[in-house]
């Protein structure tokens, strides 16, 4: 593949082309992905987000992977919508540990009219702290989308999950077309899109390629593409699925980077199960965004201090916000990482 082809942003990928990328020798694929990555990003910067569940459990959707679905008995404690002030307190903590984006997720099929005013206040409050804002609230209508945009929401997360062909094997309570319609409303309202999928649900290589094709062939690529590894939760229909081969997961990240060269590719759910070497390979493959903190909605995530240790060992720094960056805060984060590199917490891997 020529250098000019590598730099090209396309929206007309075919299944044969994408499968050919997946089937390259592993090192060739990673080299190509890293070449694309370096053409558009600083390879040693990673965008850091924190995710908070603002309403947990009792979701009417039947997504087979999700412990929050009311269709399955997973022992998850149901919680009502959090108070606005408590959400803002959590956002302040997220900023203090280095996050630049605060993501809020609610287990809904769609937001209700009575809850929307509180949701909008959350967006306004988090935005006022100088954080980027992101929400995932389920399906939106046009009026709700415009209200979120007017409140200052930067990103809306709405994952496609898998390919159109495999989708009905995983979810029956919402159609693929409805998901695409919500993404269209978000884009039309001027917000940025966060949309990706999940590996490890029993999907085929064609399905993995098909998911990426759906995202890459949108009129505009999502600004953020979370790639999740299934977190198997007892009580869900996918609790006994086979583990994803680590190299297959890295291939998914690399192909996502090649297809969507200017998007942030997020190493998302499932990171708790990844060792440091696998995470390092993920960054080499073009992943440049993570969730930071102890929890992703209802499942565990590597603790913030462990992430800082890994960043320091790899020479990675948090990415600053593109707009209205808090330069003093950013400098403090970077200084803390520099100090930790020389502390007793770390060792010289070359001499180990």
Please say if 103 is a catalytic residue: yes
Q: Which of 101, 174, 179, 194 is catalytic?
A: 194
Give the whole-angstrom CA distance, residue 303 versus residue 184: 35
Residue 66 is among the residues annotated as catalytic for this protein: yes
66 assigned binding-site residue: yes
What tokens appear for 167 in the block? 């989708």
| 321 annotated to a ligand binding site | no
User: Which of 10, 93, 101, 103 is labelled catalytic?
Assistant: 103
Angle at 108 between CA 102 and CA 113, to 5 degrees: 95
Q: What angle do CA 8, 322, 267 make, to 5 degrees?
A: 65
**101, β-bridge pairs:** 49, 132
Output phi, psi for 186, to 5 deg: -60, -45
- Find the catalytic residue in 93, 179, 266, 271: 266
DSSP string, 187-204: HHTT-EEE--EEE-SS--
* SS3 of residue 35 by DSSP: helix
To the question of whether residue 101 is assigned a binding role by annotation, the answer is no
- 134 is known to lie in a ligand binding site: yes
Residues 6 or more apart from 230 whose CB is under 8 A from it? 65, 198, 199, 200, 201, 238, 241, 244, 269, 270
Question: How many other C-beta atoms lie within 10 A of the C-beta of residue 327?
Answer: 10
Q: Which one-letter DSSP state was computed for residue 351?
A: G
| The one catalytic residue among 38, 45, 59, 251 | 59
10 has binding-site annotation: no
| Closest to 267 measured CA to CA, from 292, 243, 245 | 292
Catalytic residue among 66, 179, 257, 271: 66
Is 93 marked active-site? Answer: no
Per the annotation, binding residues for [2Fe-2S] cluster are 103, 134, 194, 266
What residues form the annotated binding site? Answer: 59, 63, 66, 103, 134, 194, 266
Binding site, annotated residues for [4Fe-4S] cluster = 59, 63, 66
Residues known to be catalytic: 59, 63, 66, 103, 134, 194, 266
């Amino acid at each position: 593949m020529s250098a000019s082809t590598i730099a090209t942003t396309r929206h007309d990928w075919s299944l044969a082309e994408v499968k050919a990328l997946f089937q390259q020798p592993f090192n060739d694929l990673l080299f190509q992905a890293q070449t694309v990555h370096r053409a558009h990003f600083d390879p040693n910067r990673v965008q850091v987000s924190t995710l908070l569940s603002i309403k947990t459990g009792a979701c009417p959707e039947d997504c087979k992977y999700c412990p929050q679905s009311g269709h399955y008995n997973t022992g998850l404690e149901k919680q009502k919508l959090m108070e606005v002030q408590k959400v803002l307190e959590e956002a302040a903590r997220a900023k203090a540990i280095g996050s630049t984006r605060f993501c809020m997720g609610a287990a809904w099929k769609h937001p209700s009219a009575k809850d929307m005013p509180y949701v909008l206040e959350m967006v306004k409050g988090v935005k006022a702290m100088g954080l980027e804002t992101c929400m995932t609230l389920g399906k939106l209508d046009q009026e709700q989308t415009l209200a979120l945009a007017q409140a200052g929401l930067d990103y809306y997360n709405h994952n496609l999950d898998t390919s159109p062909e495999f989708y009905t094997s995983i979810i029956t309570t919402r159609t693929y077309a409805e998901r695409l319609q919500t993404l269209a409303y978000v884009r039309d309202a001027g917000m940025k899109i966060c949309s990706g999928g999940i590996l490890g649900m029993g999907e085929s290589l064609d399905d993995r390629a098909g998911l990426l094709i759906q995202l890459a062939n949108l009129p505009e690529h999502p600004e953020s593409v979370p790639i999740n590894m299934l977190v198997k939760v007892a009580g869900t229909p996918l609790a006994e699925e086979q583990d994803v081969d680590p190299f297959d997961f890295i291939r998914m990240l690399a192909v996502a980077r090649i297809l969507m060269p200017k998007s942030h590719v997020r190493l998302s759910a499932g990171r708790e199960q990844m060792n440091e070497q696998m995470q390092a390979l993920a960054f080499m493959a073009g992943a440049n965004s993570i969730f930071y903190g102890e929890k992703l909605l209802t499942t565990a995530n590597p603790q913030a201090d462990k992430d800082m240790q890994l960043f320091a060992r790899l020479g990675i720094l948090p990415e600053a916000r593109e707009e209205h960056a808090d330069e003093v805060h950013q400098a403090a984060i970077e200084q803390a990482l520099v100090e930790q590199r020389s502390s007793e917490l770390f060792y010289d891997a070359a001499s180990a």
